[in-house]
């Protein structure tokens, strides 16, 4: 994944805003990780970096609309991304590669120190935040019927003759019943 290192050493004490409007920041890792995601309304993001004694406070927002595969039928599901984030990237402590946890006292893996001073991997930060903003189980519609587990047909658009329900035949009479979920 490509990295975009933004220098933090010349940020004034009152902080600085960074803006990102290149959708490839997100589209590139989708391609790299083989994700069939699509940009519907191009993503953009901005964040504000406030230098702290032992790190940087970062507060930002990301917005756009993407299409991701539906968790049930794999057809595109539109997801509106409009998320705010705030985090602290620490310049001290230890970098723990074993766990993904970024405890407050762990050194950020999005920061690196050069001869000039600290730099932040903006692409890495925005990719992390995008992953957090996408629902774990996106749906093309709330009542998506999914794929038939037997023949794989998309049950939203087609019907099949497969036996799906097993179990007590005495309950068969109930299967035609419509249960309202509202």
Contact residues for Zn ion, defined by CB under 5 A: 70, 72-73, 140, 144, 148, 150-151, 160, 162
User: How far from each other are the two terminal CA atoms of the chain, in whole angstroms?
Assistant: 44
Q: Report the nearest approach of Zn ion to the CB of residue 164 (Å).
A: 7
- Let me know: does 120 contact 5? Beta carbons within 8 Å: yes
Provide the minimum distance between the beta carbon of 119 and Zn ion in the complex, in angstroms, as a whole number: 41
Strands 16-20 and 38-52: antiparallel
| Minimum CB distance to Zn ion smaller for 68 or for 70 | 70
**In angstroms, what is the minimal distance from the CB of 78 to Zn ion?**
11
Which contacts qualify for 124-129: CB closer than 8 Å, 24 or more apart? 124/1, 124/3, 125/47, 125/58, 126/20, 126/25, 126/26, 126/45, 126/62, 127/1, 127/25, 127/26, 127/29, 129/45, 129/60, 129/62, 129/83, 129/85
């Amino acid at each position: 994944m490509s990295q975009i290192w933004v220098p933090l050493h010349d940020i004034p004490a009152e902080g600085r805003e960074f803006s990102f409007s290149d959708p490839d920041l997100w589209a590139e890792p989708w391609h790299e990780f083989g994700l069939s995601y699509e940009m519907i309304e191009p993503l953009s993001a901005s964040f504000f970096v406030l230098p702290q004694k032992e790190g940087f406070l970062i507060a930002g927002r990301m917005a756009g609309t993407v299409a991701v595969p539906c968790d049930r039928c794999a057809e595109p599901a539109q997801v509106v991304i409009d998320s705010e984030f705030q985090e602290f990237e620490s310049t001290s402590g230890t970098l723990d590669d074993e766990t993904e946890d970024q405890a407050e006292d762990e050194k950020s893996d999005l920061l690196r120190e050069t001869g000039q001073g600290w730099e932040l991997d903006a692409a890495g930060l925005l990719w992390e935040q995008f992953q957090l903003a996408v629902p774990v189980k996106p749906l093309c519609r709330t009542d998506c019927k999914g794929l038939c587990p037997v023949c794989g047909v998309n049950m939203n658009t087609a019907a099949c003759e497969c036996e799906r329900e097993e179990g007590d035949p005495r309950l068969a009479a109930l299967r035609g019943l419509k249960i309202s979920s509202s």
